[in-house]
Structure 1
Amino acid sequence: MLATLSLDGRIAVWQLRSGAQPEALLAVRSPTPGPASLAWLPGGGYLACAAADGVVSVWSLDNGVRHAQVLGRPSTCVALHAAHDDVLHAAYEDGSVRRTSRLLQPGRPTAQQFAPITAAAWSPTGQKLAVAHHGGFFEVHDDDLYVRWTGQVVTTAPLVLAWHHDKTLIVADRSSRTLTAFDTGGGELWKLQLTPEPAAMSVADDMLAVGCYNYAPIFVDPATGALLSSS
């Protein structure tokens, strides 16, 4: 299944089947139009959306019922992660990291504050959080949000972050058009020079997809940095 979000707040869930046209399973609308972050809750039965007004909404795919909770003051969400216990973690541009225990049930959200950030990414288990700040500075936090290591690249553009399992952080620098992978101690594993400018990254299993402006996605082996394909 694929979830898409339009700038006018329309959210659609599509069933994808090989050789067939996508089938629309759910069409709902976020109360707040504009950019937002989407995340599937484990099991695929619920879809979460963190909007810039500080509200997180969760829709049931079975009946389209929406549950909502205010996690904090308005700010753009740069990363949303659903852990296996259905706890939602949201990181916002104002530097706040907000968590809610079981969003589908009443509960009081918790929040912690960093300096403003430009990007964030949780590892697949949710036990590590990487955040990027202005000036190419980035840091990795553990599950308690303590800083474990920091790094910096010389850049004038916001960084893009992605995790391969819980062991490798991949940092994309748009200005130099490079990908750099780091281990959990901050050691450099590999570096790859790209021709197009990277705009987004996503990791599934053992494949890294790099979205680039006006180019087809580039596919990379996240363990070695080897280029797999460009189309």
Structure 2
Amino acid sequence: MTLANQSLGQLARDLPGATAVFHKYKLDFCCGGSRSLGDAAARKGLDTTAIEAELQALQPQSANQQQLAALGNKELIEHILTRYHDVHREQLPELIRLSQRVERVHGDHPMCPSGLSAHLERMQEELELHMQKEEQILFPMIARGVGGMALAPVQVMRHEHDDHGAALDQLLNLAHGLSLPDGACNTWQALYRGLETLKQDLMEHIHLENNVLFQRVDGQLGGANHG
């Protein structure tokens, strides 16, 4: 199977460094992870052959993604909680504070991300509810090995992941694609750096759940009772 025929999620999971290439080309490997590389590139008018060449040039390495995919379910869940759930709870309050300041001070600037702080507050509320459902209901099920009972909650979480992806797109629209105006103040620069980090972290977070942990529950990786 050529790389173009493989799904973005599979490539992100199995090929070290692929996620950096996908970030570069703005290819959605988390919520859109089931789409093939060729299809996703065609939809954006990108050169599939050039992207394949970049992926093929990636050096095999002791890859973080491969190491994570090899973890048992309990260890993978612990990683998700520490690396993503805890981090999102730190990121969003600070991003809200920064965006409120930028909107307050630079509200008359044509590049001001008007409405961003309110949008981030909605994202924080929705993400917190989502993470609580995973922490209190779904993850304990998976850790106990009751994969069959987890199928329905997994589908709900996948749907909510799609909603988070749409919220991320709206965030980028409000922030003008994270393009800073000339002479942007330090607060504005810090805000957009933080938003870029949030974007990458949230995409990696959703990818790890959708394309690794939840696929085990679906039985597609042959390890519903993994770990």
**Which TM class, normalised by the smaller chain length?**
under 0.3
Higher relative contact order (CA 8 A, sep 6+): 2
TM superposition score normalised by structure 1:
0.25
Larger radius of gyration, structure 1 or 2?
A: 2
